[in-house]
Amino acid sequence: MMHFISVQDLKVQEILAIFRRTDTLKKKPIQPLLKDKNLAMVFQKPSTRTRVSFEVAMNHLGGHALYLNSHDLQMGRGETIADTARVLSRYADAIMARVFSHKDVVELAARSGVPVINGLSDLLHPCQALSDMYTIHEKLGRLRGLKLAYTGNARNNVTHSLCHACSKLGMNMSVTCPPKHAPDKAVLRDSMANAKATRTVLEVTPDPKKALKGADIVYTDTWFSMGNRPSRIEENALKPYQLNSSLLRHAKRGALVMHCLPAHRGQEITDDVMDGPQSIVWDQAGNRLHVQKGLLSLLV
């Protein structure tokens, strides 16, 4: 594995190796595995978790992270992604990038001489899904055979990476959304092929009750990606998919509630569910740090 652009690019063995390394680093957080290494972090969009977890991860591993806001780079004045990649990879040992357009992170990886990590694009959020799989395994002791239900706007970077991850790792996944907000076709095609190989079910249904039936985990994310504003019509279409206590009752008793955060409380998720006893969102966010370390220490 040279870059980490998509969960779909990883072999199951590579994912499990990241989890094993994460376990070790979670038990003993400070280890100089990346002493004097530098991670350049390019952000075209805001971030709390991704930025801070990568930066602290590099510090814990004995290295250093540089926060580079794209507006402050010459990229903000039109220097191309390809030229930026060629230069940054001569200074830093790895690049992490959060971009608007997925093709930008692909281009960055193609032109970079050092590993590139996708810190979120419009299409995928692989670091989030990797960390979420780790969290589910930590909480429930296994992945294979579990069912994750995703409710909300499923044309979403997190949903897409979860489709890749669940289907690769042997988890059943039921996505429920209005037909207009269904996952990307290519992501579904790849994930369906994974699901066939792992003999799991990946389904998309407009019926939230059906999707949540028997679910061990119920997941939601913002209805609209950072910077996008939904129309009133779109918001109304998404309302039946809000993760609230009456919908949650359709999942297994005690099903775990997950959200990648930031949450829009009262929109895709209600306060009582987010702050309720089934919610694991804070441990989920916390694990971003540990999994980032597992990933960085194997990739860089």
Whole-number Å distance between alpha carbons of 171 and 185 = 20
**What residues contact 266, with CB distance under 8 A and at least 6 apart?**
none
Q: Is 125 among the catalytic positions? A: yes
Q: How far is the CB of 217 from ligand NVA (least distance, A)?
A: 17
Q: What is the dihedral sign for C-alpha 96, 47, 234, 256?
A: positive
Omega within 30 of 0 (cis) for the link into 262:
yes
- Closest residue to ligand CP in the complex (CB): 50
| Contact stretch for ligand NVA (CB under 6 A) within 58-66, 79-87, 222-230, 247-255 | 222-230
Neighbours of 73 (CB within 10 A): 17
**Minimum CB separation from ligand CP for residue 284, in Å?**
9
Residue 93's φ and ψ, nearest 5 degrees, are -90, -15
Binding of ligand NVA at residue 221 (CB under 6 A)?
Answer: yes
Least distance (Å) between residue 99 CB and ligand NVA:
11
Q: Which is nearer to ligand NVA, 34 or 187 (CB)?
A: 187
Which of 74, 226, 264, 282 is in the footprint of ligand NVA by CB under 6 A?
A: 226
Binding partner selected for residue 221 from ligand CP, ligand NVA, none, CB under the kind-specific 5 to 8 Å limit: ligand NVA
Question: Among the options 163, 221, 242, 290, which is catalytic?
Answer: 221
Q: Which is nearer to ligand CP, 3 or 49 (CB)?
A: 49
Q: How many CB atoms are closer than 10 A to CB 168?
A: 24
Task: Respond yes or no: is residue 288 known to be catalytic.
Answer: yes
E strand map for 230-289: 256-259
State the binding partner of 70 from ligand CP, ligand NVA, none, CB within 5 to 8 A by kind: none
Query: How far apart are alpha carbons 54 and 65 in whole angstroms?
Result: 7
Cβ proximity to ligand CP: between 111 and 259 the closer is: 259
**Length of the chain, please?**
300
Active site positions, annotated: 98, 125, 128, 221, 260, 288
